[in-house]
Structure 1
Amino acid sequence: MNEKLLNATAVAMVAPGKGLLAADESTGTIGKRFDSIKVENVEANRQTYRDMLFNTPGFEQHTSGVILFEETLFQKGLDGTPFSKLLESKGVIPGIKVDKGVKPLFGGAPEETITEGLDGLAERLAKYREAGARFAKWRAVITIGNGAPSHSAIHTNAHALARYAALCQDAGIVPIVEPEVLMDGDNTAQKNEDVTTWILKEVFQELYFQNVLLEGIVLKPNMIVSGKKCPTQAGHAEVAERTLRVLKRCVPSAVPGIAFLSGGQSDIDATAHLDAMNKAGNLPWNLTFSYGRALQAAALKAWGGTNVEAGKKAHLHRAKMNGLAALGKWDASLEKA
């Protein structure tokens, strides 16, 4: 394990004013996105769409790295340049999603899941690193409601995250550790806070047991928001306060940075929450973004399958807004400007 290299990469991933573009949608997931704009889900269209994102002039000023789907890591841009080389030429670090998705967790609540993909991961990581990937992502999913989460779901997912992280570091790849508490239910922000505290404490215990170098990881957690179906929604200030409280209680200062997932929040909410936390200041880690839909939705709609320049403009705007939020310098008036 090259500890200095892992730390240097992790620090670069959470550089001030920069965050991660999550462009790692599976073929099925991006198909749903394409359906919304009536674009056929074929490889040529997926290539064209991601070529537009990665060739957005200036997006590298606000983007430290891009999480790629396996297909995309081995694809070339429209000019024949491998996407990993294209990103590197812009100073953007290529990464790769390595999990194989979720499956039902038998013995837990009906909707609880376990993330698969550990089998053969060491061999795949070697292949991904050769192709240019310098960091990886693994998503564990925690559900609230109907008796969930169970201890089985918390423990099993935390253990898998830690095992994945250890394998990544052995391969010279920085692991993004992503335990996501879903916001789909009717739970309060307080319930989210309790569950997120539980999963984060379990994750860091498992990381310790697996000898994972904390200086060589990036944490990708959810923010402490109310469930979508909760009649009372926490405001921006409350979300920031609750999220920071959980992080200060659970995340060691050795971790270089925290790159939040957007988790179904609106574009503006995801930006405003990140900005509110950074405005609080005096934090032991850099706080930034690792957004998928919250960075891409506007670009996808503007592109519509044909309008490349409009798509690039929308992408750059959201990247810039979130870059400012990562510095605590965003203001809602900048959205209109």
Structure 2
Amino acid sequence: MNQKQFDTVKNGKGFIAALDQSGGSTPKALALYGVSEASYQTDEEMFDLVHKMRTRIITSPAFNSDNIIGAILFEQTMDRKIEGKYTADYLWEEKGVVPFLKIDKGLADEENGVQLMKAIPGLDELLKRAKDRNIFGTKMRSVIKKASREGIEDVVDQQFALAKQILEAGLVPIIEPEVDINSADKAQSEAILRDDLRRHLDGLNEDQNVMLKLSIPTEDNFYKELIEHPRVVRVVALSGGYSREEANDKLRANNGLIASFSRALSEGLNDHQSDEEFNETLRNSVEQIAEASRT
């Protein structure tokens, strides 16, 4: 493990940028960026366009370690280059930003009020490639829709089983059991989730350190004990469908919780903007999210 990267993630002032839209979410991300589906005919063309978008974000002067401590990448992004360097190397060497990799392959159908992760074939090989590409950590997402104790325990069990495999490979896992912000019993789900996360965290060895990516809780500072847990490197928040302004307002009310926003980060960016307009829009977004993450 790169100790300097570990220290940056644990103690850095700022947030983690989520640039990991995958096959299913890429068309929507491009459409929000002003690139219609008529602009590409194949998946290869689509992924070329989204890499161009991500490259424009990452190479912007607004994207730097003053406000951004890490970035989560899609697998194809990891294998592509920016200005002649593999993306993870460019992030760390040129920007001082720690690279993470999204490893999940999407969600299974809802059962017991939750969506577990689909199987991840070839995970050991993917983790080895990630190490070879100088990736620091990984991210994997499940979704909780109802306050089902059985379902939530299944989610956390699956997340920690994979987390231990990731730790064995020498990477730091970001465990992401997202609670749907539109759930009618969101607060009850959060209570079950917090207790089960704490139980699993208490069972980790001293050399097993993980990160958590959680929906911003209904009750302010509800995850304080998780943020302070000795086995937790950092707790980050997803925007979950909130606008950037609303997500930032909620984030400010949670001390020690930092952002890991995707759509809220890129809100307002457009393919047709001049570089000056693009960089200014991104700068405003980055500064607002970083400020909200420093409470």
Cα gap change, 1:10 to 1:141, in 2 (>3 Å)? farther
Cα gap change, 1:276 to 1:194, in 2 (>3 Å)? same
Instruction: Give yes or no for the alignment of 1:268 onto 2:268.
Output: no
Cα gap change, 1:7 to 1:247, in 2 (>3 Å)? farther
Q: Map of 1:52-131 to 2, 5 A cutoff?
A: 52-60=56-64, 61-77=66-82, 79-89=83-93, 90-106=95-111, 108-109=112-113, 112-131=114-133
- Gaps of at least 5 residues in structure 1 are 226-241, 279-285, 329-337
Tell me the residue number matched to 1:321: 288
Displacement after TM superposition at 1:154 (Å): 0.9
Describe the superposition over 1:175-218 as per-residue Cα deviations: whole angstroms up to 9, x where unpaired.
11111100124x2xxx3222112012213323445x36587222
Cα gap change, 1:250 to 1:15, in 2 (>3 Å)? closer
**SS of corresponding position for 2:223:** helix
Displacement after TM superposition at 1:8 (Å): 5.9
Return the TM-score normalized by structure 1.
Answer: 0.77
- Bigger mean CA deviation after superposition, 257-266 or 196-205: 196-205
Instruction: Work out the CA distance in 1 between the residues paired with 2:10 and 2:290.
Output: 11
Instruction: Work out the CA distance in 2 between the residues paired with 1:23 and 1:192.
Output: 26
AA paired with 1:292? S
- Contact 2:167–2:208 (Cα < 8 Å) also in 1: no
Displacement after TM superposition at 1:267 (Å): 0.7
Tell me the residue number matched to 1:223: 216
- Contact 1:11–1:256 (Cα < 8 Å) also in 2: no
Cα gap change, 1:127 to 1:312, in 2 (>3 Å)? same
Report % sequence identity: 23
Displacement after TM superposition at 1:11 (Å): 4.1
Instruction: Work out the CA distance in 2 between the residues paired with 1:292 and 1:137.
Output: 13
15, 20, 29: which is aligned to 1:19? Answer: 15
Tell me the residue number matched to 1:304: 271
125, 135, 138: which is aligned to 2:137? Answer: 135
**SS of corresponding position for 1:256:** strand
Q: Map of 1:131-170 to 2, 5 A cutoff?
A: 131-144=133-146, 149-170=147-168
- Contact 1:140–1:157 (Cα < 8 Å) also in 2: yes
Instruction: Work out the CA distance in 2 between the residues paired with 1:204 and 1:124.
Output: 28
AA paired with 2:245? I
- Bigger mean CA deviation after superposition, 112-121 or 46-55: 112-121
Tell me the residue number matched to 1:50: 54
Describe the superposition over 1:275-322 as per-residue Cα deviations: whole angstroms up to 9, x where unpaired.
2333xxxxxxx42111111111222xxx23563442222122111111
Instruction: Work out the CA distance in 2 between the residues paired with 1:323 and 1:309.
Output: 21
- Gaps of at least 5 residues in structure 2 are 41-45
**SS of corresponding position for 1:101:** coil
- Contact 1:11–1:257 (Cα < 8 Å) also in 2: no
AA paired with 1:198? I
253, 256, 277: which is aligned to 2:233? Answer: 256
Note the aligned Cα RMSD (angstroms). Answer: 2.3
**SS of corresponding position for 1:115:** coil
- Contact 1:15–1:64 (Cα < 8 Å) also in 2: no
19, 24, 28: which is aligned to 2:24? Answer: 28
177, 182, 204: which is aligned to 1:184? Answer: 182
Instruction: Give yes or no for the alignment of 1:243 onto 2:220.
Output: yes
Displacement after TM superposition at 1:27 (Å): 2.3
- Bigger mean CA deviation after superposition, 173-182 or 32-41: 32-41
Displacement after TM superposition at 1:256 (Å): 3.1
AA paired with 2:262? G
Instruction: Work out the CA distance in 1 between the residues paired with 2:206 and 2:187.
Output: 26
Displacement after TM superposition at 1:252 (Å): 4.8
Instruction: Work out the CA distance in 1 between the residues paired with 2:157 and 2:26.
Output: 29
Displacement after TM superposition at 1:253 (Å): 2.6
Instruction: Work out the CA distance in 2 between the residues paired with 1:315 and 1:215.
Output: 35
Cα gap change, 1:213 to 1:192, in 2 (>3 Å)? farther
Instruction: Give yes or no for the alignment of 1:295 onto 2:289.
Output: no
Aligned residues: 284
Instruction: Work out the CA distance in 2 between the residues paired with 1:15 and 1:250.
Output: 16
Tell me the residue number matched to 2:43: none
**SS of corresponding position for 2:105:** coil
